[in-house]
Amino acid sequence: MPKIPTFTTQARPTAEVGSIKSNIKLDPTKTMAGALSTVAGSVQDYYIKQRDNAEKVEVAKKVFEIKGELEKYVQAEKENINNENAINNFQKKYKDYLNQQLFGVKNNRIKKKIKENLDLEYSEYVYNIKKNSYAALEKESIKVTNDEINSLAGKYGTSDNPILKVKYKTEAINKITKFANDFGLPKNVLDTKLKALNSQFLLADMSQLVGLENGAEQIKKLDDSLKGTSFLNDQDFGKGVYDSYNKKISDISIKGDPNSDYDRALELTNELETFQRSNGYKINNGDLSIKIDSLKEKILTEKIQHEGLLLKQGDNKLFSDYSNDLVRGLTKSITDKGAGLPPELSDEIAGAEVESEYKQRIKNYLSTNPDASLTEKKQFARELVYTLQNIYEDKNIDKNQNRILNQNRFDIEAEYLKVINDMKLLQEENLDPNILEQYKFRAIQQGFFNKVKDKDGKEKKEADVTSFINEYLPILAGQIRPTVTGQ
């Protein structure tokens, strides 16, 4: 039988297998665990970005709010001419306010970013404060310099001392030069300011010459000697001449002033009309021509009014003297008992009341009749004295009755008809105010009045004209018939 060959294996059939290679590759992130890890990272990035954006908005909002207050601090120092003081003031307010605002911020990241943002702005704040302070210093220096120059120009314009004039002018020039040097003004700016100064002094000299004999010629000579055309153009020269003449004319033409000289004022307007600068420039042209014409027309109109006022003032003085004499005589007739006897208290009171009434009615008459002639005013004053004298004598209705009995029929009838007519006019509100005042005075004298208080709380007598007339008219009517029968 054939023999089968045998061999011995070294492998373990159940424990080892052959090695197998594969091209398949697996991404560990594609696993469930890997996917969850990626999502978690994205969420974290989104959260951080959202947080940063929110903080940026909050920072911007807070910075904007703080900057608004800081701007107020900058403006508060705007007029401070001392820049060191201005900066120190701002620094203190800045630190105090910033610390106060940051104290309320709990998030340290936000707090830090707010401070960083404001620190970047700080240098700009300081720059603006310095700029404002310099501008304020320049502005204040200009004001002070102008005030000093105007003061010197004023002294120059009112002085007739040549030495002092030179002194004032020199001081003014030095002040302008110093100002230009202090603020680094260029030469052309300084030259312009000096020309303006020379113009100001020339115009001041012109004002002093207006109104003098040959004043126009003296102005021309002064203008030529100073070479005025080199620093004062024709338009400004013309305006200066007009202003100088206008001022002088206004000074000597005041309506109603006895010292006014309207004739001289007209002469000056004529002189102004024909004024001509040595270079041929005529003042009377353009807008100045219209002003000169208006000025002349004004003086001509005022001259007539002035003469009327002077005449009226003379009449007023004559009437015042006349009126004072009348009222003195009236009060004397009431209080003077003759034979050296002193006046009774009742007569002194009556005299004072009559005098007060007289003055008030005269005042009312002059107010309502401003154009009354001297003759008309005297006539009114005489009639007023007569009326008041009669009222004083008729202190009560009984005396009125006794006086009426002694009057003739015509007097009584005339009085009766006059009172009736006056009452009709009173009802129609057409009664002359002066006549109404007479009735009021008579009513008070007869005891027909009410006690009232004025706006200051003082007690005064208010006439009851109606009650007075209601009693007075029957007396008059009752006396007409007996008087007629007696005739």
Could you give the CA distance from residue 484 to residue 405 in angstroms, rounded to a whole number? 11
Buried b (16+ CB within 10 A) or exposed e, 366-381: eeeeeebeeeebbebb
Mean pLDDT, range 266-276, rounded to an integer: 92
Residues 6+ apart with CB under 8 A from 199: 228, 231, 232, 236, 240
Between residues 472 and 186, the one the model is more confident about: 186
Question: Given 3-state DSSP classes, what are the helix, strand and coil percentages for the chain, each rounded to the nearest 5?
Answer: 75, 0, 25
Mean pLDDT taken over the chain: 80
Mean pLDDT, range 312-324, rounded to an integer: 80
Nearest to 287 by CA among 244, 219, 239: 239
Quote the percentage of the chain above a pLDDT of 70.
82
- Which range is least confidently modeled, 42-51, 369-378, 435-444? 42-51
- 149 conformational bin, left if phi > 0, alpha if psi -120 to 50, beta if neither: alpha
- If you search the block for the tokens 């294996």, which residue do you land on? 9
Tell me the HSE value of 28 on the side-chain side, using a 13 A CA sphere.
1
Mean pLDDT, range 21-38, rounded to an integer: 55
What pLDDT shows up at residue 85? 92
Angle between helices 83-103 and 32-76 (to 10 degrees): 140
Spans of all domains in the chain: 49-183, 186-284, 308-389, 394-487
Q: Are 387 and 437 in contact (CB under 8 A)?
A: no
Question: What values do phi and psi take at 297, rounded to 5?
Answer: -60, -40
What pLDDT shows up at residue 480? 67
**What pLDDT band is residue 237 in, cutting at 50, 70 and 90?**
very high
> How do residues 413-426 score in pLDDT, each as one tens digit?
777 888 888 888 88
What pLDDT shows up at residue 396? 38
Mean pLDDT, range 460-480, rounded to an integer: 80
Task: Check pLDDT > 80 for residue 346.
Answer: no
DSSP-derived letter for residue 450 is: E
Task: Check pLDDT > 70 for residue 28.
Answer: no
Task: Check pLDDT > 80 for residue 280.
Answer: yes
> How do residues 99-133 score in pLDDT, each as one tens digit?
888 888 888 888 888 888 888 888 888 898 889 88
Mean pLDDT, range 183-209, rounded to an integer: 86
Angle between helices 108-158 and 187-209 (to 10 degrees): 40
**What pLDDT band is residue 298 in, cutting at 50, 70 and 90?**
very high
What pLDDT shows up at residue 20? 53
Q: Are 258 and 308 in contact (CB under 8 A)?
A: no
Nearest to 386 by CA among 432, 325, 330, 322: 330
DSSP-derived letter for residue 185 is: -
Nearest to 179 by CA among 167, 192, 168, 166: 192
What pLDDT shows up at residue 91? 86
What pLDDT shows up at residue 58? 82
Question: What values do phi and psi take at 450, rounded to 5?
Answer: -120, 145
Q: Are 167 and 155 in contact (CB under 8 A)?
A: no
Q: Are 203 and 242 in contact (CB under 8 A)?
A: no
Mean pLDDT, range 221-238, rounded to an integer: 90
